[in-house]
Structure 1
């Protein structure tokens, strides 16, 4: 093996070694410090073909030379694409704070670094804090349209900043600097390099690429099974239901046990989901474990719990500890996997010591804990999610139960993909602006090398955090937003509906035949028709380090117009997706607002309400009584002062004065028990256990009316939230509708086909396209072969079904069609079939050969059709899986 390229700088030493022809590792060790092994980059052997001399290091793809105290990176032809500039370090609390500056051409866009709220796309001229939060996922991988990527090797809190001709990484806790430069120049090769460094992504079960329905939450066994029945009765395509929290009933939080009262016989329930409904079940679990359960006691006895109390009346376990992971997994297996649960949804994996959307709140909470099994939180801050995913992955892989591991995690990190874990974008609000931001967030996550991502279709909150749809699925304006989000979700790598406040099952948006229901059905059916294409892309992710959701610059790097486009993307190599991101048909209703103190008076005549807290449901002795300005509270981080974690009651009293005559809508939002009285008359009575809901009360009132208002809340378990808002007469809307069309840029270098009309267009131009509510604008690149399956209601039904190859002429095309058993790990032993499909545009011939045929069972019938034609030709294959057909 060649020796690394080493040289001394003031106060330290630089070492450069090649781990592949296109990947180099740069380490900078300050005097007196030695760099420890990476906590997430896999061990990498030195590349054999590297040459090192006094001038620098050379491979077949790269030239690295010393420039002053830094380095210059060039391609094989000598063209410089990146310069390592000043490196610096200074003492920090426990180690060093390090800063690495780079110089690069400012004309090139910078993507990646994970997923963040706010809509940031190109990181040029921007700063971002790499820290985990409810809506943020830190992934220290950066990609440039100049053709290179950088993996910053640190789990610690890191700040990225770009300005002018340079950018920098700054990390709070390190022994030195280590980063990897990956040369493409194609983005696919860069991402494949990230996967070489951090691990390949195993293949999910085929059903995971279908549709999954979730909400916060199914309250009992009957509701879950009734939902399964309704989906199958309607014939709406679906593969999985998700059971959110509280399946453990009144037992401690996330104890990995089912409550016999609300979910009796979980094994029988799951068998019924499996057969006859052909549905899988995913269940939620948290790293926080409630006090008093067997899992808590075992972790406590082993010293594997952090000391900071959680709002769920429990403590978070140390996932950095091998022993802690083993104990946690033992109870996951016993309580969930052995009962038949098919997949795990790991919530709050930042980890969520406090419920907050401010990343620094979470950082400070982590720093307040004892050290982890791997040392200080300052060193391992961003890696918790990866280690807890590792525990459940390694545990499940020992079972050999015929199921592939599939985990959904609210957080993520580079390397987490090797543990079969996907991420989603957290508890987001249902607004059009947030929907627009999701597109950029998902694309940057993909550009950072993370293959699987999804979003809460429809937004998690329909009220609060800027969301103003208290009527939820009854509101035509929300139905329009939900339809557009659902259409976008059908072209995310994973396709999942979830949220609180309002039911998310499709029939709640209208009966079959209504505009909203039919649009949802069409999007789901298209997703299932595309499953042969999607599943083949998933194999490319696993086998080649591929990417499903792709920024336009990933495929059209030579077209600078694409650099700034974050509202269109490629879905695989063929389909360009152009989601509709603005309302066009239904104007949002006038905004609801929290009832302000100006309209309320306490018994003492002061503005606002009197708020009282009681330790239990029956008590008349208030633990506290104090004035508040409005009824708008959230107790996710713990109960109000002086109250227990569960079982407490809250009460608000005031006199409400109505100033204008007309129709009023009162909206009481919260979870668990809620009651409201007007002048001692009960007007809302919803005292049962329930998830977050909005109850609407309508009254016609005269100006000057005074109402004795009383509201009560009974909190049973977990996080709590309560608010009282209203819509007053004359409170006008603040939005305007736009025409039912959108502008779409067609990247240069190829022609494009409108997927819906078949019309062909030249690339390099901007079109204005219609956007009926019935579909999402889609374009297919000329020189594509798109494999389609039949419309089915669940993914297994496509096994052995006819496949249609839809050919889009205009250039030569190639596609690798992949098939396997759909679950289990036989594919790792060669039990799969790949068919190499090629289209010759000159001869108008489509040919197939089968380079690997290890799948037992029936093969699908294959038909071939040209885009825009109705006639389909049958393509017979011989015993070797080869055949050809000419289309005229």
Structure 2
């Protein structure tokens, strides 16, 4: 026997083996939870408390409808083993309809205790487009017709949220690894290990409305630091204090503005010590003072790895501040010995780690951190064998980067810092509110990777992550003496110019003439990676791009402020502003940078021409300064020293390109 109970602000559906509740969760949003347990969990994971809302519930014991603003849902009981159906509507038009592939119990596969493998299945809508799900190195921007594993690893960061071209957003509120299929025959969400099915669906008239509600649910990025809109210099890696200062001094003497320079991994004494090795970094205070006097912010890489050789291992181990295994001893990542990871979900871990960061970095003037290995990078990826403070890894593993970023945000806030930005290799819904600047990991130095980075950045923008970047030039296998790489680095620099953050990084191949300056160092440097390292032709091109980025900073800050207030990203798909233009939903190789700049990157070797679609309005080509009427495709040209961008007629930003 199944029945529906109608309360003032929710629908309760009950039958043998299933308890379901549909209720409002803020403006134009509904939350669906269903379990085989006797009660539902109120755990919100990374959700913020909902804003006040007023809903209407009507119906009877066999069918009921709940309406919250522009969204409504109707549930019918079915009866017996006939599945119950939930149908969602946006302003009366159907947008999503559930279905059971088998009997009701197939949604839950018992694993032990109160946990199940859970899945929710919906009908496929012809012509619908999906965007989001985080970042990975692939060419699929429109996720329709795709299958996506829900897990993190180096180059892949999962955020289980989608935007639909039908005008709704969907958040799968389970931090368990799992699967999402947005295929032609159905849409399926699956968590490998969870207490309940839990998702939210909300609607809006345009993408910006949907994004704002999503940020109401998960948080907004803080105010973007003005300095961070400039050029960041980075390489794998500066081996010593003097090596780094030599590079900073040269940039300064050449009059090239540098916003930040990064001190990468293995500047430390041991993984888990979180302090400079005095042999190679003898005077961090004077180093930071000199950098800051040149207007350059020092950034330090912090890894969450730790092993028994670290001075912090025993006290953290004794207090359960490290990731445990359900079966076996420590050893989750083999990198210069077996490593485990700190457990940022333990409330004790944050204050302990921050006390070390404060003592060994912050007091020298270092206020920005590179949070590498943030997935975390465990091998093998047997999440059920991981034990976090908040639960088994099979249930909670996707939360790691969220809590890792939170440690540094909370620590900096405790020092009354307001300009907080942390470069991090993974994210989860809500990471944006901790100042997470996400990048797409250790990708190859290829034109394919450049093209896929554009897709990654746009996908992350639709997941509420407005602060994003990639390693300019790609991370590995770049040969700085090859014609291929020298062309690639220019085209990637142009993409970096129109990215939320412009950061040069990479492990370049060593050249035959390169001298090992510190033969005893544990992790040696790669090849040179400064803008004068890529040939005489490229140097003035790259220098001009950095200078142009400097002139663009007021424009960038304007849209970063908008992101902090409304959730709308600066790097946005064409359909974000032109949502009534069907063509814009098919474009994955050009995008808007704010409302006034359209950028069409060149992402193939030897290519100087490409097609560009101009939406409605008049557009000015930054190269020939001619005006073109929108609503059509055209062919644009850009030699290696040029890029393809159009500015909306009447925009003041055009003067920046003069």
CA distance in 2, matches of 1:766, 1:417: 35
In the TM superposition, residue 170 of structure 1 has moved relative to its aligned partner by 0.8
Please say if residues 367 and 412 of structure 2, whose CA atoms lie closer than 8 Å, have aligned partners that are also in contact. no
1:50 aligns with 55
2:280 aligns with 262
2:347 paired residue among 311, 314, 322:
322
Q: For the structure 1 residues 548 and 761, does the alpha-carbon distance in structure 2 shift closer, same or farther, using more than 3 Å as the test?
A: same
Please say if residues 619 and 647 of structure 2, whose CA atoms lie closer than 8 Å, have aligned partners that are also in contact. yes
CA distance in 2, matches of 1:21, 1:411: 29
2:3 aligns with none
Q: Does 1:448 align with 2:453?
A: no
Q: Does 1:394 align with 2:410?
A: yes
In the TM superposition, residue 478 of structure 1 has moved relative to its aligned partner by 0.9
Q: For the structure 1 residues 788 and 546, does the alpha-carbon distance in structure 2 shift closer, same or farther, using more than 3 Å as the test?
A: farther
CA distance in 2, matches of 1:271, 1:93: 57
In the TM superposition, residue 115 of structure 1 has moved relative to its aligned partner by 0.2
Q: CA-to-partner distance for each residue in 1:616-669, whole Å, 9 max, x for gaps?
A: xxxxxxxxxxxxxxxxxxxxxxxxxxxxxxxxxxxxxxxxxxxxxxxxxxxxxx
CA distance in 2, matches of 1:428, 1:477: 16
Please say if residues 575 and 585 of structure 2, whose CA atoms lie closer than 8 Å, have aligned partners that are also in contact. yes
In the TM superposition, residue 155 of structure 1 has moved relative to its aligned partner by 0.4
Q: CA-to-partner distance for each residue in 1:13-63, whole Å, 9 max, x for gaps?
A: 33222223321111223343522412111222551x211122412233223
In the TM superposition, residue 548 of structure 1 has moved relative to its aligned partner by 1.2
CA distance in 1, matches of 2:68, 2:315: 53
Q: Does 1:83 align with 2:88?
A: no
2:4 aligns with none
Please say if residues 122 and 187 of structure 2, whose CA atoms lie closer than 8 Å, have aligned partners that are also in contact. yes
Q: CA-to-partner distance for each residue in 1:441-463, whole Å, 9 max, x for gaps?
A: 1111111111111111101102x
Q: Does 1:376 align with 2:389?
A: no
Please say if residues 118 and 191 of structure 2, whose CA atoms lie closer than 8 Å, have aligned partners that are also in contact. yes
In the TM superposition, residue 90 of structure 1 has moved relative to its aligned partner by 1.5
In the TM superposition, residue 755 of structure 1 has moved relative to its aligned partner by 2.4
CA distance in 2, matches of 1:23, 1:784: 36
1:172 aligns with 192
Alignment of 1:551-700 (within 5 A): 551-584=573-606
CA distance in 1, matches of 2:453, 2:529: 19
1:272 aligns with 290
Q: Secondary structure at the match of 2:98?
A: strand
In the TM superposition, residue 559 of structure 1 has moved relative to its aligned partner by 1.9
Q: Secondary structure at the match of 2:391?
A: coil
CA distance in 2, matches of 1:540, 1:488: 21
CA distance in 1, matches of 2:654, 2:556: 9
Q: Secondary structure at the match of 2:595?
A: coil
2:311 aligns with 294
Please say if residues 155 and 383 of structure 1, whose CA atoms lie closer than 8 Å, have aligned partners that are also in contact. yes
Q: For the structure 1 residues 394 and 745, does the alpha-carbon distance in structure 2 shift closer, same or farther, using more than 3 Å as the test?
A: same
1:25 aligns with 31
Which structure shows the higher helix fraction?
2
Q: Secondary structure at the match of 1:71?
A: strand
In the TM superposition, residue 497 of structure 1 has moved relative to its aligned partner by 0.8
Q: For the structure 1 residues 30 and 785, does the alpha-carbon distance in structure 2 shift closer, same or farther, using more than 3 Å as the test?
A: farther
CA distance in 1, matches of 2:470, 2:567: 22
Q: Secondary structure at the match of 2:201?
A: strand
Q: For the structure 1 residues 120 and 241, does the alpha-carbon distance in structure 2 shift closer, same or farther, using more than 3 Å as the test?
A: same
CA distance in 2, matches of 1:220, 1:294: 22
In the TM superposition, residue 432 of structure 1 has moved relative to its aligned partner by 0.8
1:37 aligns with 43
Please say if residues 220 and 263 of structure 1, whose CA atoms lie closer than 8 Å, have aligned partners that are also in contact. yes
Q: For the structure 1 residues 60 and 144, does the alpha-carbon distance in structure 2 shift closer, same or farther, using more than 3 Å as the test?
A: same
Q: For the structure 1 residues 6 and 785, does the alpha-carbon distance in structure 2 shift closer, same or farther, using more than 3 Å as the test?
A: farther
Uncovered stretches (5+) of structure 1, i.e. residues with no partner: 355-360, 463-468, 585-737, 790-805, 807-869, 871-888
In the TM superposition, residue 340 of structure 1 has moved relative to its aligned partner by 1.3
Normalised to the residue count of structure 2, the TM-score between the two structures is: 0.89
Q: Secondary structure at the match of 1:429?
A: coil
Please say if residues 458 and 499 of structure 1, whose CA atoms lie closer than 8 Å, have aligned partners that are also in contact. yes
Q: Secondary structure at the match of 2:312?
A: helix
CA distance in 1, matches of 2:286, 2:307: 26
1:591 aligns with none
Which structure shows the higher strand fraction?
1
Q: CA-to-partner distance for each residue in 1:73-108, whole Å, 9 max, x for gaps?
A: 2222x1222223336112125611111112242202
CA distance in 2, matches of 1:522, 1:99: 52
Q: Which deviates further from its counterpart, 420-429 or 778-787?
A: 778-787
In the TM superposition, residue 784 of structure 1 has moved relative to its aligned partner by 4.1
CA distance in 2, matches of 1:35, 1:228: 53
CA distance in 2, matches of 1:272, 1:753: 43
Uncovered stretches (5+) of structure 2, i.e. residues with no partner: 1-6, 79-83, 324-328, 509-526
**Max radius of gyration: which structure?**
1
Q: CA RMSD in A?
A: 1.9
In the TM superposition, residue 206 of structure 1 has moved relative to its aligned partner by 1.0
Q: For the structure 1 residues 575 and 165, does the alpha-carbon distance in structure 2 shift closer, same or farther, using more than 3 Å as the test?
A: farther
Q: CA-to-partner distance for each residue in 1:304-323, whole Å, 9 max, x for gaps?
A: 22343232434211111011
Q: CA-to-partner distance for each residue in 1:194-222, whole Å, 9 max, x for gaps?
A: 11111111113211111101001011111
2:299 aligns with 282
1:770 paired residue among 609, 634, 637:
637
2:326 aligns with none
Q: Secondary structure at the match of 1:329?
A: helix
1:227 aligns with 247
Please say if residues 98 and 171 of structure 1, whose CA atoms lie closer than 8 Å, have aligned partners that are also in contact. yes
Q: CA-to-partner distance for each residue in 1:682-705, whole Å, 9 max, x for gaps?
A: xxxxxxxxxxxxxxxxxxxxxxxx
1:59 paired residue among 58, 65, 68:
68
Please say if residues 159 and 169 of structure 1, whose CA atoms lie closer than 8 Å, have aligned partners that are also in contact. yes
In the TM superposition, residue 367 of structure 1 has moved relative to its aligned partner by 2.8
CA distance in 2, matches of 1:750, 1:11: 57
In the TM superposition, residue 349 of structure 1 has moved relative to its aligned partner by 1.1
1:504 aligns with 529
Q: Does 1:433 align with 2:448?
A: yes
1:658 aligns with none
Q: Secondary structure at the match of 1:111?
A: strand
Normalised to the residue count of structure 1, the TM-score between the two structures is: 0.67
CA distance in 1, matches of 2:124, 2:649: 34
Q: Does 1:486 align with 2:505?
A: no
CA distance in 1, matches of 2:652, 2:13: 51
2:521 aligns with none
Please say if residues 33 and 175 of structure 1, whose CA atoms lie closer than 8 Å, have aligned partners that are also in contact. no
Q: Secondary structure at the match of 1:92?
A: strand
Please say if residues 11 and 21 of structure 2, whose CA atoms lie closer than 8 Å, have aligned partners that are also in contact. yes
Please say if residues 523 and 775 of structure 1, whose CA atoms lie closer than 8 Å, have aligned partners that are also in contact. no
CA distance in 2, matches of 1:783, 1:291: 62
Q: CA-to-partner distance for each residue in 1:148-190, whole Å, 9 max, x for gaps?
A: 1101101001201122253110111111111111201311111
1:533 aligns with 555
Q: CA-to-partner distance for each residue in 1:678-726, whole Å, 9 max, x for gaps?
A: xxxxxxxxxxxxxxxxxxxxxxxxxxxxxxxxxxxxxxxxxxxxxxxxx
